[in-house]
Amino acid sequence: MTTARVPAAVRRPRLVHRLLAGVAPRAAEIGRLRQENAALLAQVRTRADELDLATRMLAARAQTMTSVIDAVTEQSIIGTDRDGVIRVWNPGAERMLGLPRPEVVRKRSIVEFHLAEELEAEAAACGAAPGLGVLVHAAQEHGSDVRDWTYVAADGQERTVSVAVTPRTDDRGVHAGWNFVGTDMTEVRATERMKDQFVSLISHELRTPLTSILGYLELVLDEDGEPLTDEQRSYLATVERNADRLLRLVGDLLFTAQVDAGRFTLDPRDVDLADVVRAAEESARVTAAGAGVDLVVDLPDGGVVVPGDAVRLGQACDNLVSNAVKFTPSGGRVTLSLRSGWATADGAVSAEPRPGAAPVAQLAVSDTGMGIPTGEQGELFTRFFRSSTARRHAVPGVGLGLAITKAITTAHGGTLGLTSAEGRGTTFTLTLPRTVA
């Protein structure tokens, strides 16, 4: 059996047809790949442009931050890694600690510039790890910390520095180290110590002779053997009144010095605030009557017991009442109001208990006097501050009473609020934790 042969002229068109049939899809595939390649090249160029822009922006931001840090010359700015090795050292640090940047960065630890004895004492007190752990343990717990530390400069000079410590993160938000911003407080703290020492010294020196004067005045006034004339008794009563005033002022100065030095202590026990208010009203009654001021007391039927120091709470209440009487013109009124209540976390106080509310006592001392300008109310509890209304109306005082009252209130875990409008009177509200039977 023989096979017929296909002529060559017939075979060639078929072969060409098959070749062309295979080339067409590949040409389409090549075209598609070229398009994808062009798209990828365009994306690469775009990403490259974005990366270049981001790099330039980061460089500009870094340059801006560096220029800002370098512009700070009055405060030291020191940045460290997680181990305390210094990475940032601004001109303020150079000036404060006496070393140029190249001698410190990546070569020294922040711990080396602290007083070793102070770090050891703090480590023992707080139980933190020695070295860097002592400096940053509070910032680790609370997110930041500000306190006085002793810096030791290159020449051995010690400086009292208020240091703000905050954690530092990298661009991914990962903890990368710590920032230490220091303000030299050496002269300020020295001045404060001298001032406190002066106040304490003068107060002690004045208290002794004043006590003696008052003692002898009491003997003279109570002498039965040789009765005094009415005129003599009047003169001596004036002397006694002013000596008492001076003695109270000395006591106030001593108290403020104790508060500043952290030596203010309490003798806590259960205290009925109603008794404290009655005593304050009795003390101010004569002065109020002489000034033509009506004194009104509004007390609940039962007692209002708080944990605290009866003497200090009495001092706070006396200050509020005497201030109210002094700032109220003749014909006005001062009201002492005591209530029990319940305070929520946001500070709101209601008469009825609420879920999560704490029992409190509220003492409000209101007057119809000259009031306090709004712009001055924030400074009213500052030592020696006197409002413009007090100066304008020549109201006597040195500006210690409210500062003392605020310190006493804070020491008892309470708050002291103020509502006032010039020409329309003032209300001070003292809120204290209350004992519930």
- Identify the CATH number of the domain in which residue 138 sits: 3.30.450.20
Same domain, 93 and 227: no
Give me the pLDDT at residue 4, please. Answer: 54
pLDDT interval class at 119 (50, 70, 90): very high
Same domain, 428 and 296: yes
Same domain, 249 and 284: no
Residue 287 lies in a domain: yes
List, as one string, the DSSP characters of 381-414.
TSTT---HHHHHTT----S-HHHHHHHHHHHTT-
Residue 43 lies in a domain: no
340-357 exposure pattern, b = at least 16 Cβ within 10 A, e = fewer = bbbbeeeeebeeeeeeeb
Same domain, 274 and 338: yes
Total structural domains in the chain?
3
Mean pLDDT for the stretch of residues 112-135: 88
Which two three-digit tokens encode residue 137? Answer: 């343990």
Same domain, 237 and 126: no
> What confidence tens digit (pLDDT) does each residue in 255-284 have?
777 777 666 778 888 999 999 999 999 988
List, as one string, the DSSP characters of 92-117.
HHHHHH---GGGTTTT-BGGGGB-HH
Same domain, 136 and 195: no
Mean pLDDT for the stretch of residues 384-389: 75
Domain extent for 198? 189-260
List, as one string, the DSSP characters of 270-316.
EEEHHHHHHHHHHHHHHHHHHHT-EEEEE--SS--EEEE-HHHHHHH
Give the residue from 182, 183, 185 showing the smallest Cα distance to 79: 182
List, as one string, the DSSP characters of 170-221.
-TTS-EEEEEEEEEE-HHHHHHHHHHHHHHHHHHHHHHHHHHHHHHHHHHHH
98: CB partners within 8 A, 6+ apart: 153, 154, 155, 157
Same domain, 409 and 285: yes
Same domain, 341 and 405: yes
Q: Pick from 260, 290, 311: which residue ends a domain? A: 260
CATH number at residue 222: 1.10.287
Same domain, 236 and 177: no
Same domain, 248 and 304: no
CATH number at residue 292: 3.30.565.10
Q: Pick from 184, 200, 215: which residue ends a domain? A: 184
Same domain, 101 and 248: no
Q: pTM above 0.75?
A: no
Mean pLDDT for the stretch of residues 131-138: 91
306 and 433 in contact (C-beta within 8 Å)? yes
Same domain, 284 and 150: no
Place of tokens 């933190």: 128
Task: Kindly tell me if the per-residue pLDDT of 364 is higher than 80.
Answer: yes
Angle at 24 between CA 18 and CA 27, to 5 degrees: 140
pLDDT interval class at 61 (50, 70, 90): low
pLDDT interval class at 28 (50, 70, 90): confident
- The pair phi, psi for residue 183, each rounded to 5°, is -120, 125
Task: Kindly tell me if the per-residue pLDDT of 14 is higher than 80.
Answer: no
Residue 49 lies in a domain: no
User: In this prediction, what percent of the chain has a pLDDT beyond 90?
Assistant: 35
Place of tokens 């000034």: 291
Which two three-digit tokens encode residue 168? Answer: 């530092």
Residue 297 lies in a domain: yes
At 408, the amino acid letter reads I
Residue 6 lies in a domain: no
Residue 130 lies in a domain: yes
Q: Pick from 162, 184, 206: which residue ends a domain? A: 184
Give me the pLDDT at residue 264, please. Answer: 73
Strands (E), 114-155: 145-152
33: CB partners within 8 A, 6+ apart: none
Residue 177 lies in a domain: yes
Residue 44 lies in a domain: no
Higher confidence at residue 40 or residue 274?
A: 274
Provide Rg for the chain, Cα atoms: 39
